[in-house]
Chains A and B, each alone.
Chain A
């Protein structure tokens, strides 16, 4: 996870917007991903963005990519208590063998309070 950095905690009030930030190191990443993990469950893909895009919007989710600064963010509009979970940023890093292996950050724990 040292290739992908995230802040560990974010606390927001229900109805506010949440912004989760991530920095990555490998400029050859072609796709960057956001996954969500709820307690006791595996990771679930939320959204992804191709590296030649600056922004992608999907309902309440907006992904912003600053490739120059290797910075990725996930904005959740109108955050609900059901959004409380751990959010992982991931990049696919090419290996010497030609495979692309998804590498994850440590995750940001989002706490939504009423």
Chain B
């Protein structure tokens, strides 16, 4: 397994366009997270899946954002009608079932979005 893969690595789009990012987690990981990171900030939580169920959504996730994980494997994050404020690095992370143990996230390299 090569870790968490994200595609594309960089997307430049014009304001108002829709964009979609894909994340392929580590195959045995049932938990998947999306975060957003802007310059000088730490990752900000967007949404969390356990298997195919979207269990948590941040208030940062406006109705222009939607995420899916249809078969409990890969996930997509779509942003509709992009705005310049959406420019950021979108990070995907996954983690295995832990019970009560430490929840160690493995991050992908991120998808950088630039909205012109």
Contact = CB atoms under 8 A, between A and B. Distances in A.
Interface centre among B42, B102, B105, B107, by most A CB within 10 Å? B42
What's the interface size class on A, roughly? 20 to 34
Nearest to B104: A45
Interface in A29-63: 30-31, 33, 35, 40-45, 48, 50
B109 A99 contact: no
B28 interface: no
Interface string A70-90: 000000000000000000100
B104 A99 contact: no
Interface residues of B, number: 25
A104 B109 contact: no
Given A42-B91, A45-B105, A50-B102, A95 B4 contact: no
Contacts of A103: 45
Nearest to B105: A102
Contacts of B44: 1, 104
A10 interface: no
Contacts of B108: 42
Given A42-B4, A106-B42, A107-B42, A101 B107 contact: no
A31 B82 CA distance: 36
Nearest to B100: A30
